[in-house]
Structure 1
Amino acid sequence: MSERPRTWPALEFAELAPMVDYLNRLVQVGGKYSLDEPFEVGWGDIVLECTPRGLRTRTYRTAGATFTVHHRLLDGDVVIEADSGTRTIPLTGDPRAPGSVASFYTAFCTAAAELGIAPPPSPLICEIPGAPPTFDDDHAARTWDADAARLIWQGFDLAAHGLEAWQAPFIGHRPRVGVMWGGFDLSATRFRHQPTKPVADRPSFMQSGELYAYVSVGFCFDTTRGADKDPAAERIGLYGYIWPQPDGLDGRSWGVEGAAWRPDLGLVLLPWPTLRRQPDPHQAVVAFGDAVYDAAVATAGWPADALGPRVDGWHMSRTPPPG
C-alpha cells in the first residue's frame, strides 16, 4: 500500500492572518472548559488534537455531561459531541450577512445548554493583543474563508506529523503534541525534573508553565507576534526555545540550513518557506527539533541519555508475531 503524498503548501501570512485571528478566538470558547481541570505539568491537558477534520478538545467530564468540542476547519462548523447528544454550530453563514465571535458564542452556549452543558467558565479573550475583553464584546464582522481554513489545518497537520516523530524517542515527561488554544501555536515540549523560578511579572498560566525546565519546539502562524516590523518578514514557521534560556546559543547550527537564533525573540526560527524547500520537510522538522535539544544538552546540562532509539515502528504489519 503506497503512502498518501503529503504536499507542503505555500502559507502566506497576509492571506491567512484574518482567518488565524478568527480561529484563535473560536477555539478559546471550547478550550476554556479546561480552566477548571487539574493542572498537568506543561499544560498537556489543554492542548487541542489535530484531527483529520480540524482541532478537537480533550474529553471533558463534568457534572452535566461528558463531551468534546470539535472545531472542524474542513467543514466550517463546530460540533459539540456529548453523551447526551450532539449539536452543530455552522460557521460558513451567509456571505451577505457575516457573523461575529459574539454571535458564535451565543449560539455555542445555547447549543451547549441543550446538552446539559454549562457555558464556558470564562468569557475572556486571552493572549490576543488588541482583542475585545470578552467573547460577548467581539462584534467584528467575520466571513468564513474555506480555502484559508484548509491551509491552516494543513500547516498544523504537517507540522504535527513531524513533531510527533521528533517526540517519539524521548523517555521523560512529554505532553501530547497539540495546539495551545490561547496562543494558537502547535507545541511539542520535553520536561526535565529541575524546578525553576517563574518570571514574577508574567500571567499566572505562564508562571505555572515555568515551574520546571523544558525544551519546546513548535509551529506558529506568527512566530514574531508582530515584533518584526518588516512586512516582508517570514512569520509562519517552526520555533524552538529552552527554559530557562541558557547562554551560548549564538553561532550554533540548528539542523536545517536557514534556521537561525533570534536573540531579540528568545527563539530559534525555521521559516515555513525554508522548510518546504527541503528535500524532505518531514525529516527537516525532526532535524530541527534534534538540534534544539542538542543545544539544551550542550548549554544547559540536559541529559543526552534521555533519548531512546529512534526506530521506524513495530513493523507488525510485515513481521509475524513470535511463536
Structure 2
Amino acid sequence: MTKWPDIPYSRWQPSGASLHMWTQIVGKFRLAQTPWINHSWQATFYVSGRGLNSSLIPGEGCSYDITFDFIDHQLKIDTTDGRQQAFALEPMSVAAFHERFLTALSKLGAPSDIHHAPNEVPDPVPFREQTGPGAYDRDAVWDFWQALVAVDAVFKRFRTGFLGKVSPVHFFWGSFDLAVTRFSGRPAPLHPGGFPALPDTVTREAYSHEVSSAGFWPGGGGIDYPAFYSYAYPMPDGFGDRAAEPTEAFFQKNLGEYVLPYDAVRQAADPEAALMSFLQTTYRTAADLAQWEREKLEADLGVPRVPRRID
C-alpha cells in the first residue's frame, strides 16, 4: 500500500462534493452541542485510525462520538452509555444523508436542532433541498484518507517545534481542509470578513490574533488539484516575494497564499522532508517579515521519549 497515494482531483471531486456536505451536516451537530473554543476549534474533526472523528461531543445524560469510518464505509454514532447507530456511506443525495443522520440522532434521543444549510460555499442550498444524486467512490475516499494520515503525521511533527500558542492538527468541515496554525501572541487588526455563508463574527474571532497557518486540501476553491497552502494574517509587507521550498512551491497572488502541489510531495524522494521544508520556509517568511519573537517561540522538533531540555 502506498503511503502517499495518488489522489487526482478528477477522480476525487464527485465523492469529495458529497463528503463536503455530509461532514458539514455532522459538524453542525458538534457545533450546536459544544461550548465555543477560541478560533472555532470546538467544531473540527480529527484524522483517526478509521477515517475522520469528532472526538467526544457533550450531551444530556451521555456524550456522542461520531466517525466517518472509511474502512467499513459507515457513519457511526457511539454514545458513552454503550449505544450505537450507524448507516452505510454510499452514493446518496445530501438530502438523503441529512435525513438518515437526523433519524439516527432521534433514535439515540439526541437533539437535532442544528443549522440546516452549509457554510463557506457560495449560494448555499439547504441540505434538505440538495436532492441531486450524490457520489461515493470507496477507492477514492480510501486514498484521500490515506493521504490525510500521511499529512497528519508531518503536521503533528511540525507542530512540536513551537512553544507558543499553536492549534491542534484538525480538519475544518466548512473549508474542507486539514490545518495547523501558529500564533505570534499579538492581537491582529479586525478582519474584514466577507467569506461566503459565514458570519463575519465567526471570521473575526477566528482571526483575532496574528497567525501563520498551513494546511492541505484535496482540490477546489480555484485550484483543481490537491495541494498544500501557507498564509499569514495579517499579511506582512513582502510576503510572497521570498522563495519557498521545495522548488515546486509558488505564491498564488489571487489567494494570497503559498501553494505546493500534493504531487510534488508524493513524488519526492523523501515526501516528509519535502513537506516539512514547505512548512518551515513559509512560516519563517511570515514570522521574519512580521517580526515575531522567534527565539522565544520556537524549539527543536520533538522526538519520541525525549523531554524538552530546560536549562
TM-score (norm 2): 0.90
Distance 1:59 1:311 in 2: 27
Cα distance in 2 for residues equivalent to 1:192 and 1:58: 28
Deviation at 1:74, TM superposition (A): 2.7
**Residue in 2 aligned with 1:149?**
141
Q: Which residue of 1 aligns with 2:74?
A: 77
Structure 2: 5+ residue stretches without partners: 195-199
Per the alignment, residue 256 of structure 2 pairs with 266
Question: Are 1:308 and 2:299 an aligned pair?
Answer: yes
Separation of aligned partners in 2, 1:168 and 1:152:
25
Q: Is the 8 A contact 2:54 2:65 kept in 1?
A: yes
Identity of paired residues, percent? Answer: 24
Give 5+ residue unaligned stretches, structure 1: 93-97, 229-233, 317-323
CA distance in 2, matches of 1:69, 1:269: 32
1:185 to 166, 177, 181: 177
The alpha-carbon distance between structure 1 residues 120 and 31, as it changes in their structure 2 partners (threshold 3 A), is farther
Task: Give the distance between the partners of 1:86 and 1:264, measured in 2 at CA.
Answer: 45
Q: Say yes or no: does 1:158 pair with 2:154.
A: no
1:126 pairs with 2:116: no
Deviation at 1:201, TM superposition (A): 4.1
C-alpha offsets along residues 279-303 of structure 1, whole Å, 9 cap, x if unaligned? 1111222211111211122201112
- Residue equivalent to 1:113: 106
Give the match for residue 197 of structure 2: none
The 1:157–1:177 alpha-carbon spacing in structure 2 relative to 1, beyond 3 Å, is: same
- Residue aligning to 2:241: 251
- 2:53 partner amino acid: R
Q: Deviations over 1:8-58 (max 9, x none)?
A: 122211111111111011111221133343332232222211012110112
RMSD: 1.9
* Counterpart among 7, 12, 35 of residue 3 in structure 2: 7
Residue 176 of structure 1 deviates from its aligned partner by: 1.0
Q: CA deviation at 1:77?
A: 1.2
Instruction: Give, in whole Å, the separation in 2 of the partners of 1:120 and 1:70.
Output: 20
Aligned 1:214-253 pairs, distance under 5 A: 214-222=211-219, 225-226=221-222, 235-253=225-243
Retained in 1: the 8 A contact 2:240–2:258?
A: no
Which deviations, in whole Å up to 9, do the C-alpha atoms of 1:248-290 show, x marking residues without a partner?
Answer: 1233121211111112210000001111121111122221111
SS at match of 2:140: helix
2:41 aligned counterpart, secondary structure: coil
Q: How does 1:176-215 map to 2 (within 5 A)?
A: 176-202=168-194, 203-215=200-212
Give the residue type in structure 1 aligned to 2:248.
Answer: G
Give yes or no for contact 1:47–1:177 (8 Å, CA) kept in 2.
no
Distance of 1:120 and 1:268 partners within structure 2: 39
- Contact 1:43 / 1:175 at 8 angstroms: preserved in 2? no
State the aligned residue count.
299
For 1:95, the equivalent position in structure 2 comes to none
CA contact (8 A) 1:49 1:58 kept: yes
- Please give the alpha-carbon distance, in whole angstroms, between the structure 2 residues aligned to 1:56 and 1:176: 14
2:240 touches 2:251 (CA, 8 Å); kept in 1? yes
Separation in structure 2 between the aligned mates of residue 174 and residue 154 of structure 1, nearest angstrom: 24
Task: Tell me if structure 2 keeps the 8 A contact 1:48–1:56.
Answer: yes
Match of 1:45, as an amino acid?
Answer: Q
Q: Do structure 1's residue 283 and structure 2's residue 283 form an aligned pair?
A: no
Alpha carbons 2:212, 2:287 under 8 Å: kept: no
Select 1:174's aligned residue among 148, 166, 177.
Answer: 166
Task: Look up the SS of the partner of 1:225 in the other structure.
Answer: coil
Q: CA deviation at 1:239?
A: 0.3
Distance in structure 2 (CA, Å) of the matches to 1:15 and 1:131: 24
User: In 1, Cα distance between the equivalents of 2:108 and 2:88?
Assistant: 17
Equivalents in 1 of 2:154, 2:121: separation in Å? 27
